[in-house]
Structure 1
Amino acid sequence: MTTEHHVEPAPDPTSSTLAFFGSELRLRREAAGLSQTELARLVHCAPSLLSKIESAKRVPKEDMAELCDCALGTDGFFGRLWPVMIRNAYPAWFRPFVDLEQQAVAIRSFEMQFVPGLLQTEEYARAILAGGRPDSVKLEELVVARMHRQRVLSRDDPPRLWVILDETAIRRRIGGAAVMRAQLARLLEAAQIPRIVVQVVPFDVRNHPVLTGAFWTFSFDEGPDVVHMDSFYEGQLRAEPEVVAATHHAYDLLRALALSPEASADLIASAIKDLSP
């Protein structure tokens, strides 16, 4: 076994799922008689990155977890642990939202300030999440978790997604001009997908029906729709028939007042031009 140049201190495995992942990786690497340098070579990463993963200072990518299983002969242990680690990166109140998002056959979203998470670029998501001022490790956990959520749109049976944005969401320069240009380009790409509709409510709408905050509606093959409403501290899920009906009515009004998908795409393209150097 080769000499390690620098070994980060071991994390408390009970402190988080990320720390458990790192401590288990270290234990199983050492049991296999491999140095960090040797395992790093097998999983195609720098030894310094592997050291940070073992000490719960960096979040591993999913393919790296699978490579660790291959290198250490752990029978898929790290591959199975990875999605558990990602799910636990979310605040506890948000995990039911993610579960519903994965089960829904149709998703309707209205956002006042931001492009919704399912359509965010990584840098845009990082800029938004950094606003909450988490530590660097937690920030990276949250970014990886948000990107992981987007896989629901590329699976074999993706949900239908209807997104309505207030014009504020495409004008606010989250992360700076370059980040925002890339985000708006991603939004235009998504709008070309048949199962995704993107509309924008322009600034000049006088009687805006929903100025109180963002909301999402989830529809399923069986069972009633569920509504998620955002708030300052945390969102809430509601399934009472009167709440769902009121939300559907508000969404219908938003669709009527929003620009058509084609005109919305033109406005987004115009916003990209406004961000040009």
Structure 2
Amino acid sequence: MTAETDGADLADPTASTLAHFGNEVRLEREALGMSRAEFGAEAHCGYDLVAKVEKGVRVPPREFAEACDRVFPHASGRFLRLWPLALKLAYPAWFRPYVDLERKATVVRMFQPQLVPGLVQTEEYARAVLRAGRPTNLEDLVTARIERQRILTRDDPARLWLVLNEAVLRNQVDSADVMRRQLEHLRQLAENPTHRVQIIRDRGKHHGWASPFGLLSFKSGADVAHVDGFPKGYVLADAADVAAAQDVYDLLTAMAEPPDESPELIDSISKDCYS
């Protein structure tokens, strides 16, 4: 349930794009004489997810929309075209402009002092982090966060540059198993020649920056900066603000260990903390 659908009559297919998507699924499924369980088997999901999508109370993953277009004979790609509109409801309204920019970016640079950034979180890690805020739409938030990561695996992937405090690797989120898998994912990114991962070692002195922030670059147009914070983040497009963020990011990369040393360091911390 999102702010846009809260209090709406979800039986009305015009209540939201999510309700419309779900109603279209139901109409197509019933026209084929399929049960929810039968369609769930085709879409590799359970009855419960099909029911919630049809009722307009769950944002479907992309694979669900792809299954609709595959199974329903007259879909003609309609569900994958509708799906981005439904997915938007899973993001807070203030965050949607950033997601749109991130999707267009060719280079994404991020600094995080405490947590693994959402763009590279495993599903288990993301669920644990998001659960801490006790949201009413946890699964929608997880779906949306994991979907953002598609920019790293598309045909023309965005280049990612991460600078992380060592504390990010040592701050345990959920179980040791969850952390091991998350650090293994970071290690794989660090070894991918497209991306860069740098760790700022904890040597007892703080480097001066505690706020997570990032920079987005594009094929054309100026860079923008994004500052994460409570209760909401914000995008900075002013040239002076972006230049200041770029300068700080350059300093942080200079303070961090070289990218080639990251895999070994990640392995060492994983063994030390989570074996």
Distance 1:44 1:206 in 2: 50
Cα displacement string for residues 212-249 of structure 1 (whole angstroms, at most 9, x for unaligned residues): x0101111222211000111111111121211111111
Q: Is the 8 A contact 1:113 1:166 kept in 2?
A: yes
Partner residue in 2 for 1:6: none
For 1:273, the equivalent position in structure 2 comes to 271
The alignment covers a number of residue pairs equal to 266
Instruction: Give the aligned partner of residue 89 of structure 2.
Output: 88
1: CA distance, partners of 2:57 / 2:239: 45
State the Cα distance separating 1:267 from its structure 2 match. Answer: 2.4
Distance 1:62 1:105, change over 3 A: closer
5 Å-filtered alignment, 1:1-277, equals 11-40=11-40, 42-43=42-43, 45-72=45-72, 73-135=74-136, 138-204=137-203, 206=205, 208-211=207-210, 213-277=211-275
C-alpha distance in 2 between matches for 1:26 and 1:142 = 23
* 1:16/1:269 CA distance change after superposition, 3 Å: farther
Cα distance in 1 between the residues matched to 2:262 and 2:247: 21
Question: Taking every aligned residue pair, what percent have the same amino acid on both sides?
Answer: 48
SS of equivalent to 1:223: coil
CA separation of 1:173 and 1:12: change in aligned 2, threshold 3 A: farther
Q: Alpha-carbon deviation of 1:165?
A: 0.4
- Matched residue of 2:160: which SS? strand
SS at match of 1:275: helix
Q: How far, CA to CA, are the matches of 2:58 and 2:194 in structure 1?
A: 35
CA distance in 2, matches of 1:182, 1:236: 30
- CA RMSD in angstroms, aligned pairs only: 2.3
In 1, Cα distance between equivalents of 2:168 and 2:174: 13
Between 1:161-170 and 1:30-39, the stretch displaced more is: 30-39
Contact 2:59 2:86 in 1 (8 A): no
Deviations 1:194-215 (A, max 9, x none): 121101111116251412x010
Q: How far 1:117 sits from its partner (Å)?
A: 1.7
> CA 1:37 to 1:99, structure 2 compared with 1: closer, same or farther past 3 Å?
closer
SS in structure 1 opposite 2:229? coil
**How much does 1:70 deviate?**
3.6
1:273–1:85 Cα change, 3 Å: same
- SS at structure 2 position matched to 1:163: strand
**Structure 1 residues without counterparts, runs of 5 or longer:** 1-8
**Distance in 1 separating the partners of 2:198 and 2:204:** 13
Per-residue Cα deviation, 1:6-62 (whole angstroms, up to 9, x for no partner): xxx974545544333223322333344444355445545544442233224544332
* 52 and 195 in structure 1: CA distance in 2 versus 1, 3 angstrom threshold: same
CA contact (8 A) 1:12 1:19 kept: yes
8 Å Cα contact 1:191/1:197 also seen in 2: yes
The answer on whether the counterparts of 1:109 and 1:162 sit within 8 Å (CA) in structure 2 is yes
Quick one: structure 1 residues 100 and 49, their matched pair in 2 at CA, closer, same or farther if it must change by over 3 Å?
closer
Residues 60/220 of structure 1: CA separation in 2 closer, same or farther (3 Å cut): closer
TM-score, normalised via structure 2 length: 0.87
Distance 1:61 1:46 in 2: 13
- Where does residue 3 of structure 1 map in the other structure? none
